[in-house]
Amino acid sequence: MPALTENTQLGGQKLKRIVFSEVDVRRRVREMGSEISKSYDARDRLLVLGLLKGSFLFLADLVRAIELPLHVDFLVAASYGADKVSSGELRLLYAPETSLEGRAVIVVEDIVDSGHTLNRVLPLLRERGPESLEVCALLHKRIQPLDWEPRWVGFDAPHEFLVGYGLDYAEDFRHLPYIASL
Ligand code: IMP
Ligand code: MG
């Protein structure tokens, strides 16, 4: 009963429309996992670094679709409060203790909007001496050219505020299994 689940999950709040269904997301994440699997081998000592909180579901599904040995760690950067517009400010609340030295690192981001987050985080990670540093983003709004274009993008996103599958609005909606606009 998806409708009932949705209503229960939304607690009476309204969504505009479902942009990427649970099936769309599942299919695309599996494809991305197999693309990544072909791009590395076991010697790369892959480290998948999730940007919290938004990437938590995407990362969980993505690593299960990567057929290589890998490690997982997280990075916490806060750029938005209870606001739909980027403040342009970014705070690193938690940086990984795992060594990046000589490893193939993939930063997993839920959605690229202005690109401020990646532009600020990636130079900090680069300083830690990874062998390679790439970005895998589930969604990309393609607002402007970035210093660091993601190597893997799940979907080009409409210029709307999206929620679900990790994405929140003021912490609501992260647990929806699909991506919707508000
Ligand atoms: P950027 O720094 O402007 O590229 O924004 C990236 C971060 O802002 C993402 O990691 C999200 O947490 C958040 N964000 C950007 N657009 C959206 C959206 O449409 N819905 C929910 N969060 C978003
Ligand atoms: Mg967020």
100: left (phi over 0), alpha (psi -120 to 50) or beta: alpha
- Ligand 2 centroid to residue 130 C-alpha, Å: 26
Reported in sequence order, the residue ranges of 53-178 that DSSP labels E, i.e. its strands, are 70-78, 91-94, 104-112, 132-140, 152-156, 162-163
Please report the atom of ligand 1 found closest to the CA of residue 141. 16
Substitution site in 17, 55, 83, 110 for ligand 1 pocket (most atoms within 8 Å of beta carbon): 110
Q: What values do phi and psi take at 86, rounded to 5? A: -60, 135
The CB of 137 under 6 Å from ligand 1? The reply is no
Contacts of 12 (CB under 8 A, 6+ apart): none
φ, ψ of residue 147 to 5 degrees: the values are -65, -35
Going from the Cα of 167 to the center of ligand 2, the distance in angstroms, rounded, reads: 6
The per-residue pLDDT for range 26-46, each reduced to its tens digit, is 999 999 999 999 999 999 999
**pLDDT bracket for residue 1 (50, 70, 90):** very low
Q: Given pLDDT bands bounded at 50, 70 and 90, which one contains residue 83?
A: low
DSSP secondary structure letters along 5-49: HHHHHHTT---SEEEE-HHHHHHHHHHHHHHHHHH--GGG-EEEE
- Give the pLDDT confidence of 36-75 residue by residue, as tens digits: 999 999 999 999 999 999 999 999 999 999 999 999 999 9
Q: Is the CB of 181 under 6 A from ligand 1?
A: no
Cis preceding-peptide flag for 84 (omega within 30 of 0): no
Indicate the pTM of the whole model. Answer: 0.92
Does residue 73 have an active-site annotation? no
